[in-house]
């Protein structure tokens, strides 16, 4: 999966260390293989796969990932899914708050 998104190895490792729970709903990832919904999935906070730096890459649970899909973060936070799960701008992980305040952009190297 990391290769599919072309996430650099060092970013992948740092994100794995940082995110032990879903950055959106806060569910703690399980290492057991029997529960698919607690498995982490790779998420681009801003839906631009070219921005694969640590401030735009996060781990979230399968259900948040499926719900968010290609929606804008701001729009998704207004969705029924987020309302039901009580996911708000204030409840999300620090990295998501940062992305809302200061959306990651491509840096033209
Ligand atoms: Zn989640």
Q: Say if CB 22 and CB 64 are below 8 A apart.
A: yes
Q: How far is the CA of 41 from the centre of ligand 1 (A)?
A: 10
Structure pTM?
0.88
Number of structural domains (the chain) is 1
Q: How far is the CA of 91 from the centre of ligand 1 (A)?
A: 11
Q: How far is the CA of 9 from the centre of ligand 1 (A)?
A: 23
Q: How far is the CA of 35 from the centre of ligand 1 (A)?
A: 14
Q: Which domain holds residue 37?
A: 2-101
Least confident interval from 14-18, 92-96, 105-109 = 105-109
Q: What is the pLDDT of residues 6-18, one digit of tens each?
A: 789 999 999 999 9
Give residue 39's pLDDT: 84
Q: Which H helix or E strand runs over 57?
A: strand 57-61
Q: How far is the CA of 28 from the centre of ligand 1 (A)?
A: 9
């Amino acid at each position: 999966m990391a290769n599919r998104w072309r996430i650099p190895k060092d970013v992948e490792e740092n994100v794995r260390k940082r995110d032990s729970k879903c950055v959106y709903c806060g569910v703690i990832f399980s290492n057991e293989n029997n529960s698919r919904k607690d498995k982490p999935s790779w998420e681009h906070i801003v839906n631009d796969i070219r921005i694969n730096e640590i401030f735009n890459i996060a781990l979230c649970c399968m259900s948040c990932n499926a719900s968010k899909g290609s929606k804008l973060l701001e729009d998704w936070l207004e969705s029924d899914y987020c309302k039901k799960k009580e996911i708000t701008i204030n409840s999300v992980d620090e990295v998501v708050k940062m992305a809302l305040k200061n959306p990651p952009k491509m840096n033209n190297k």
